[in-house]
Amino acid sequence: MNGFLARWRRTSRRPSGVLYQYYATIHPETCGVCLDHHGRILERPEGEETPPLHPGCRCSLLEFSAGELEYYREQERRMRGRAQEELRRRRLFREGEEALARGDFEGALARFRESVQIDVFTSDVEHLCRGESPRGALESAPEVAQQLRDLFVRAYRWKHDLPKYRHMPERMRLERRDHGLRVIRELFAPFVDGPAGGSGDVPPM
Ligand SMILES: [Zn+2]
């Protein structure tokens, strides 16, 4: 009876030898809570630790066999590392905005340079160009605005050449890239007088 009970408890906790891995999307809109769960391995597909964690949560669970645990542990390490990098990128970007607002242009450029080495998103550039205090700083220092525009344009172009976009049909990849580049140029156009400011065309690579 005891043996049966123990076995029953064991098997009812993990009925078919399956486990679950938490998947968040690494994106500027993904909240810190979801990023913190990215890659985590769960025993059950329900409970407090399973998506949706909040209204509008877009995370999901991937089911895998317990026999593959070692592989998924490896994935977990990699995914948690990426989630940490995204949090670091956000911190650097915010610090860049704060430095800019203080008039510390060197500090701002250093932070933004470091952040784009991790990734770059047009929504963050939009936040930067439309935010009250960074905007004041950009208006007062067009040469800094131009340096920043060029930095984001370079980073955005480079990002679309990374292997993660290689699976995408070439035309779609270039359209996405050119659209983003246009958005960045338009956002900086009010601060920059250079020839590329506001221009929609993208020079060849
Ligand atoms: Zn979330």
- Summarised one tens digit per residue, pLDDT across range 142-156 is 999 999 999 999 999
Chain centroid offset of residue 186 CA:
22
Residue 184: HSE in the Cβ half-sphere, 13 Å Cα cutoff = 27
In angstroms, what is the span from residue 164 Cα to ligand 1's centroid?
23
Angle subtended by helix axes 122-130 and 170-188, to nearest 10: 10
pLDDT at 10 over 90: no
**195 band by pLDDT with thresholds 50, 70 and 90:** low
Select the more confidently predicted residue: 146 or 167: 146
**Helix extents (H) in 50-169:** 69-102, 105-116, 122-130, 132-140, 142-159
Count the neighbouring beta carbons within 10 Å of the beta carbon of residue 205.
Answer: 8
Whole-number Å distance, alpha carbon 25 to ligand 1 midpoint, is 10
Give the start-to-end residue ranges of the domains of the chain: 15-79, 120-188
Report the Cα 73 to chain-centroid distance in Å.
22
Distance 91 CA to ligand 1 centre (A): 17
Mean pLDDT, residues 80-102? 96
- Helix count (H) and strand count (E) of the chain? 8, 3
Angstrom CA distances, 15 to 4, 65, 72, 101, 151, stand at 15, 11, 19, 56, 52
- Say what the pTM is: 0.79
- Give the separation between CA 31 and CA 120, rounded to whole angstroms: 17
